[in-house]
Amino acid sequence: MIKNVLTVLLFVAVRAFAAGGVNDMYPHAELVKSQERYERRVGEMFSSGLWEVMNGAEKQALSGVRIELPLKGDGPLDAFSYINAGVPTVAFPVLSLKFIEDLSVTYAWRHVNRHSLEPIDEYLAMLKYRRPEDFPGARVPDPPTALGVPPRIWEQDKRVDELSLRFRNTAWAFILAHELGHLRFRHPGNKQVPPEVSQRNEMEADAFAVALLSRSDTIPMGMILWFQASVGYFKNRADFRTEAAYREWMQSEATHPINPERLQRLAVALNHAADASLSPKNAEVLRFIAGKVVGMGDILTEPDMQRLIARCAVLGRPEDLKRLHDRPCDERLK
């Protein structure tokens, strides 16, 4: 009975969630201020890090590619690609770039200070299940604000600065390479093909990204944060009342889900890259990342675990996200 009540509660929460609130996480002026800096950095990442290691067929397919940075997309974890008047185009919204940057700073600060990482997953789930009015000031907070990171900490602590940049840059690079993979293989838009085709295309773009980054000798540590955020934010089994409803969504609507199969295929690609690496150290790190990805997939095979995370997000207090030590959800909800 408790499980059924919780399932209904989560279903209502998902239906009530307002994506617009998440899109208003940052003031408009702050996104505009960041846009030029991001355009310069992402442009350098493409021209110096990715284009140079592409083979002839890849360069031919991606000749003249444009990278656009609109201020907002469809939420804080959005990037997409399309063909515009014959020109292959990647759109990487400033909102998504900033969210990844802030999440990287948050993780780095908590990691180097040995603070609990537990609140990060809870925060991501709160973005999914809670409304703006549930947060202090009736506004969805950005990661550093929600998780108690001191202002401009990267200027005060070199360790945080270096680790956060490593996560940010490699997360950006993976996402950009993934979208370039869609353009390389001329994948049609998600609405133009059945969901199972779109899902296969996502896996092919993942594998392309891993291969391209391997050629540039980039270890995609930031991929961990990107998929961790995606696992917490996007739909999973706990968001459906029944297994049949979840399967129906997978077969009829889900175009690029974060599911165990996709994560397992990604781990295989990472392990292949490790096998091909000439650097034992790089190979070890790639296998470590693969293990983390498999672990995320394991969470998605456990509906009860998903429901527990969701329950903490739905019933927990946003103020508790600032805690520095692990504290079981049931203990905090008493």
Q: What is the pLDDT of residue 20?
A: 56
pLDDT digits (tens, 9 = 90+) for 69-79: 999 999 999 99
Token pair 């200027």: residue: 155
Of the ranges 13-17, 116-120, 143-147, 291-295, which one carries the lowest mean pLDDT score? 13-17
Mean pLDDT of all residues in 238-259: 85
**Which tens digits make up the pLDDT trace of 231-248?**
889 988 888 888 899 888
| pLDDT tens readout for residues 119-173 | 999 999 999 999 999 999 999 999 999 999 999 999 999 999 999 999 999 999 9
| pLDDT at residue 320 tops 90 | yes
pLDDT at 303 over 90: no
> Is-above-0.75 flag for pTM?
yes
Predicted pLDDT at 78: 95
Q: Does the pLDDT of residue 10 top 60, yes or no?
A: no
User: Within 13 A of 24's CA, how many CA atoms are on the CB side?
Assistant: 11
